[in-house]
Structure 1
Amino acid sequence: MPFEFQGKHVTVAGLGVSGVPAAKVLHGLGARVTVVNDGADDRARAQAAELEALGITVRLGDGGTLPDGTELIVTAPGWKPTKPLFTAAGQAGVPVWGDVELAWRLRRPDSAPWLAVTGTNGKTTTVQMLASILKAAGLRTAAVGNIGVSLLDAVTGDEEYDVLAVELSSYQLHWAPSLRAHSAAVLNLAPDHLDWHGSMEAYAADKGRIYEGNRVACVYNVADKATEDLVREADVEEGCRAVGFTLGSPAPSQLGVVDGILVDRAFVENRHKNAQELAEVSDVNPPAPHNIANALAAAALARAFGVPATAVRDGLRAFTPDAHRIAHVADVDGVAYVDDSKATNTHAAEASLAAYGSIVWIAGGLAKGATFDELVAGAAKRLRGAVLIGADRVLIREALARHAPEVPVVDLDRTDTGAMLQAVQEARRLARPGDTVLLAPACASMDMFTNYNKRGDAFAQAVRELGA
């Protein structure tokens, strides 16, 4: 039965990107809305004033108490399940939804199906590639979820879509029990956000929710067995298929690479004997191995929706990656400078480091509980040197001492934003012609910068000053 909002008391947990739109939509549906928020800073007060002008109740600085009479909580995805508000909700039998669950419940009967993507890394790029492919096929679509158009706007607005390309985080999936996608992909699994989920098992289980109820295809990474395991555990509709993607030659029911060509052996007639050429590796921008994997996952979801091979090629050619994702900034004195500030965890940094032969690595920041031994051991042979910045740089320095003791290390004992200029200057000193100076921090940025974008901008500006 659909949830009836008219007259219901709904508590929205958290202001911000998801909370404010959710409160407005629920208020418009006739719910009695109370917004609770931990903080009470200037931004929160401004948002509260905007909502209160509509007749919505807002409680700042009190995110832990369940308002009397609450019948449903709609939470911002980042709120931890262990918060007292949710403990109280569980004791009172009050359901908790995220913004994705709310959007799913508000879809019209004729709403566009969802092609959904999650994974530790590569989600945004893959969803943007997917949207580009779908547009190349002439379909009305948008990249939504964690990026682009708000999911609530997409399902409640006037714009009509044929299909949606949906990026979903583990946080969002945790609070989305009813989600049932047309097809979905888990790109990879590596330890991340374990402080939020509590364990790797819980993190993986939340990622695996994306496969529940899939109708056509569950897309997994052949090189990452954990993603295939999630497919095996999922309860899907009859006839839904497991479709793998691989950087090697694909087996039947897989997409892969043969002689520089992306090929499909899943969505073709007689896939045991036939394959369909989709695009060339050179059509992928940039053609780093992990980005080729992203392209294959996007292609698999598009093909599951019936998109022709030519649209895969045209969509990949038209795609331009966001800033700070393996972005070539400049060449200075024969050395390439590459900004992958988006590599905010070890798994992303591992993929970035694997794309280059001889590297001066700029790394460090907030580790978020990560360890770096495996990352450093795998990259040691490619490291010309390392320059470390940020609050948790000692963890990387110790891993380098254990697994790459011959690699020269510059440890910058500073966490101010100006440290990036010194880091780039030190990296230039270590680099030789043909090397790549790579910003792939393997850490979050908030110890020094507002976000990874600002960190990448600082790197790019420092590189421009080198060439001035």
Structure 2
Amino acid sequence: MRISQLEGRRVALWGWGREGRAAYRAIRSRLPQLPLTLFCSADEAADASAAGDGALSVETDASAGRLSAFDIVVKSPGISPYKPEALIAAHEGTRFVGGTALWFAERPDARTVCVTGTKGKSTTTALLAHLLRAGGHRTALCGNIGLPLLELLEDEAELWAIELSSYQTRDVAGSGVRPHVAVVTNIFPEHLDWHGGEQRYVEDKLALLTEGKPRIAVLNAQDRRLAALSLPDSEARWFGREDGWHLRGDDLFRGEDFVFDTRAVALPGRHNRGNLCAVLAAIEALGFDAASLAPLARDFVPLPHRLQTLGARDGIAYVNDSISTTPHASLAALDVFRGRRVAILLGGHDRGIDWSDFALAIGANTPAVVVTMGQNGPRIHDLLSGVARTAGFRLLHAEDLEQAVAQARAALAGEGVILLSPGAPSFGPYRDYTHRGRHFARLAGFDPDIIASIPGLGISP
């Protein structure tokens, strides 16, 4: 649906975060007189009203009855379409669209590379943009990584590197515009509360492929769900297997051809450097010489909150992996520091994800200390209590992040790594994972403003 098609319709916005504000500005740029109703929180209502838009009504009760009064609701990504009020309104005929779908409909000829996956999508998208720019291509870095597409509605780029969350993948599928390339790094359970269960999460995530029908799909051969897919409308390119881009130890290969040693790339962990294989396969899918660009990954600046070493204080190194919102991600983080004395901080918002696999695996890479915290902290603590006795790590529980850092610091006694890799979302005490990561930096004694910015957002060169 194009923005012009909103004219003459009853239209509402739902959400006034950055995505919601971007949708508002985009609609107003094309339809300055269109009556709009905004549904938002009470805290956001004052800010929205301050815009001084006489054609904008602001309400705080997004009930099924009120949503049903509109033909179209432009919804922010964080609001689940599976909420009861949204399902009722949809049944009554209200159409829900996202800002991502609006952008794609407005820019059908844009040469897009859409990147998704449970983990690694931000790093993959940023690394893709970095290498394309190094190759002299005017490239946009945007999407879920921190810059809504609609903020770049009037801008031009040769290539668009777009990160999509599972909240946005159906947006692309519903836009009617096929991405040029779609990259999927991996699939495992996350955001189950938003999606209403694991099956729907997987279906929504894979909608980028199954319904979006990209011209070329770049897929991880090591992921069982992806390996089982049949995509008759897309050409499949695989990474992570020996006939394509893959790692042998730390060495990068294209088929049988050695390219370079990836230990020089500033990506902590072999799993992170594996994202380079996805990027190079995508660059090849665009028709460029990926092998010549691959060594330029050495100049890549890692993203904040992703296994980010903040520095050391009094013999203890502090690592910010606040982006970690699944047990799988926490295990991968532990593997990066294998052989070192680690205190890992676990827990946050409880989405009902099963931590049993984590409990089984932690014995093979045992930390010195585990500190549980947050809403699901007690559940994780109970699950690990038996494992702690047999594996020999110290298990503690904290009421909040501040107490968790203090307990970890005391337990390490001046030697080791405090690793914030919570394996759970930050909702509750924090707005998002960046807010949590910034708090961790302050508690560790570092300036959060220095460590928090994402380099390269927007369009360049």
Same fold by TM-score, threshold 0.5 exceeded?
Answer: yes
Contact 2:348 2:374 in 1 (8 A): yes
Q: Following the alignment from structure 1 to structure 2, what is the Cα–Cα distance between the partners of residues 135 and 311? A: 13
Alignment of 1:41-440 (within 5 A): 41=43, 43-50=44-51, 52-53=52-53, 55-66=55-66, 70-107=70-107, 111-154=109-152, 156-157=153-154, 159-176=155-172, 177=174, 178-211=176-209, 212-230=211-229, 232=230, 234-237=231-234, 240=235, 242-246=236-240, 250-252=241-243, 254-258=244-248, 260-265=250-255, 275-309=256-290, 312-331=293-312, 336-358=317-339, 359-383=342-366, 384-406=368-390, 407-415=392-400, 417-429=401-413, 435-440=416-421
Q: Following the alignment from structure 1 to structure 2, what is the Cα–Cα distance between the partners of residues 332 and 148? A: 30
The alpha-carbon distance between structure 1 residues 10 and 317, as it changes in their structure 2 partners (threshold 3 A), is: same
Please list the CA deviations of residues 60-107 of structure 1 after superposition, one character each: whole Å capped at 9, or x if unmatched: 333533467633222111222233543344333332211111111111
Contact 2:67 2:94 in 1 (8 A): no
The alpha-carbon distance between structure 1 residues 208 and 463, as it changes in their structure 2 partners (threshold 3 A), is: same
Please list the CA deviations of residues 187-241 of structure 1 after superposition, one character each: whole Å capped at 9, or x if unmatched: 11111111121221111111111124545421222221112234x1x4524xx2x
Q: Following the alignment from structure 1 to structure 2, what is the Cα–Cα distance between the partners of residues 464 and 360? A: 17
Q: Return 365-374 or 58-67, whichever deviates more.
A: 58-67
Q: Which amino acid aligns with 1:114?
A: T
Q: Aligned pairs, how many? A: 437
The alpha-carbon distance between structure 1 residues 333 and 27, as it changes in their structure 2 partners (threshold 3 A), is: closer
Please list the CA deviations of residues 328-357 of structure 1 after superposition, one character each: whole Å capped at 9, or x if unmatched: 233467654322122122121121122222
Alignment of 1:19-34 (within 5 A): 19-30=20-31, 32-34=34-36
Compute the displacement of 1:363 (Å): 1.6
**What is the DSSP-based 3-state SS (H/G/I as helix, E as strand, rest coil) of the residue aligned with 2:64?**
coil
**What is the DSSP-based 3-state SS (H/G/I as helix, E as strand, rest coil) of the residue aligned with 2:6?**
coil
Contact 2:388 2:394 in 1 (8 A): no
Q: Return 5-14 or 447-456, whichever deviates more.
A: 447-456
Please list the CA deviations of residues 136-171 of structure 1 after superposition, one character each: whole Å capped at 9, or x if unmatched: 1111111111124321133x21x3201100111111
Q: If the length of structure 1 is used for normalisation, what is the TM-score?
A: 0.84
Compute the displacement of 1:462 (Å): 4.1
**What is the DSSP-based 3-state SS (H/G/I as helix, E as strand, rest coil) of the residue aligned with 1:418?**
helix
The alpha-carbon distance between structure 1 residues 28 and 451, as it changes in their structure 2 partners (threshold 3 A), is: closer
Root mean square deviation of aligned Cα: 2.7
Q: Return 338-347 or 398-407, whichever deviates more.
A: 398-407
Q: Following the alignment from structure 2 to structure 1, what is the Cα–Cα distance between the partners of residues 395 and 84? A: 44
Q: Which amino acid aligns with 1:56?
A: L
Q: Following the alignment from structure 1 to structure 2, what is the Cα–Cα distance between the partners of residues 357 and 57? A: 55
Q: Which amino acid aligns with 1:151?
A: L
Contact 1:19 1:76 in 2 (8 A): yes
The alpha-carbon distance between structure 1 residues 136 and 276, as it changes in their structure 2 partners (threshold 3 A), is: farther
Q: Which amino acid aligns with 1:219?
A: V
Q: Following the alignment from structure 2 to structure 1, what is the Cα–Cα distance between the partners of residues 166 and 264? A: 30
Contact 2:112 2:162 in 1 (8 A): yes
Please list the CA deviations of residues 419-447 of structure 1 after superposition, one character each: whole Å capped at 9, or x if unmatched: 14413323423x85xx5432211122334
Q: Return 97-106 or 27-36, whichever deviates more.
A: 27-36
Q: Following the alignment from structure 2 to structure 1, what is the Cα–Cα distance between the partners of residues 78 and 431? A: 17
Where does the alignment leave 5 or more consecutive residues of structure 1 unmatched?
266-274
Q: Following the alignment from structure 2 to structure 1, what is the Cα–Cα distance between the partners of residues 72 and 170? A: 16
**What is the DSSP-based 3-state SS (H/G/I as helix, E as strand, rest coil) of the residue aligned with 2:228?**
helix
- 2:426 corresponds to 1:445: yes
**What is the DSSP-based 3-state SS (H/G/I as helix, E as strand, rest coil) of the residue aligned with 1:96?**
strand
Q: Which amino acid aligns with 2:110?
A: A
Q: Which residue of 2 aligns with 1:270?
A: none
Contact 2:344 2:418 in 1 (8 A): yes
The alpha-carbon distance between structure 1 residues 140 and 148, as it changes in their structure 2 partners (threshold 3 A), is: farther
Compute the displacement of 1:9 (Å): 2.6
Which fold has the larger relative contact order, with Cα–Cα distance below 8 Å and residues 6 or more apart in sequence?
2
Compute the displacement of 1:364 (Å): 2.1
Contact 1:185 1:219 in 2 (8 A): yes
Please list the CA deviations of residues 297-338 of structure 1 after superposition, one character each: whole Å capped at 9, or x if unmatched: 122112211232355325412211122211223346765432
Q: Following the alignment from structure 1 to structure 2, what is the Cα–Cα distance between the partners of residues 6 and 398? A: 56
Q: Following the alignment from structure 1 to structure 2, what is the Cα–Cα distance between the partners of residues 141 and 278? A: 24
Contact 2:330 2:422 in 1 (8 A): yes
Q: Return 64-73 or 339-348, whichever deviates more.
A: 64-73
**What is the DSSP-based 3-state SS (H/G/I as helix, E as strand, rest coil) of the residue aligned with 2:168?**
helix
The alpha-carbon distance between structure 1 residues 179 and 208, as it changes in their structure 2 partners (threshold 3 A), is: farther
The alpha-carbon distance between structure 1 residues 235 and 54, as it changes in their structure 2 partners (threshold 3 A), is: farther
1:39 to 24, 33, 41: 41
**What is the DSSP-based 3-state SS (H/G/I as helix, E as strand, rest coil) of the residue aligned with 1:82?**
coil
Q: Following the alignment from structure 2 to structure 1, what is the Cα–Cα distance between the partners of residues 148 and 411? A: 40
Alignment of 1:3-22 (within 5 A): 4-22=5-23
The alpha-carbon distance between structure 1 residues 327 and 344, as it changes in their structure 2 partners (threshold 3 A), is: same
**What is the DSSP-based 3-state SS (H/G/I as helix, E as strand, rest coil) of the residue aligned with 1:171?**
coil
**What is the DSSP-based 3-state SS (H/G/I as helix, E as strand, rest coil) of the residue aligned with 1:459?**
helix
Compute the displacement of 1:381 (Å): 3.0
Where does the alignment leave 5 or more consecutive residues of structure 2 unmatched?
447-461
Contact 1:141 1:161 in 2 (8 A): yes
Q: Following the alignment from structure 2 to structure 1, what is the Cα–Cα distance between the partners of residues 27 and 57? A: 12
**What is the DSSP-based 3-state SS (H/G/I as helix, E as strand, rest coil) of the residue aligned with 2:55?**
coil
Q: Following the alignment from structure 1 to structure 2, what is the Cα–Cα distance between the partners of residues 87 and 118? A: 25
Q: If the length of structure 2 is used for normalisation, what is the TM-score?
A: 0.86
The alpha-carbon distance between structure 1 residues 100 and 454, as it changes in their structure 2 partners (threshold 3 A), is: closer
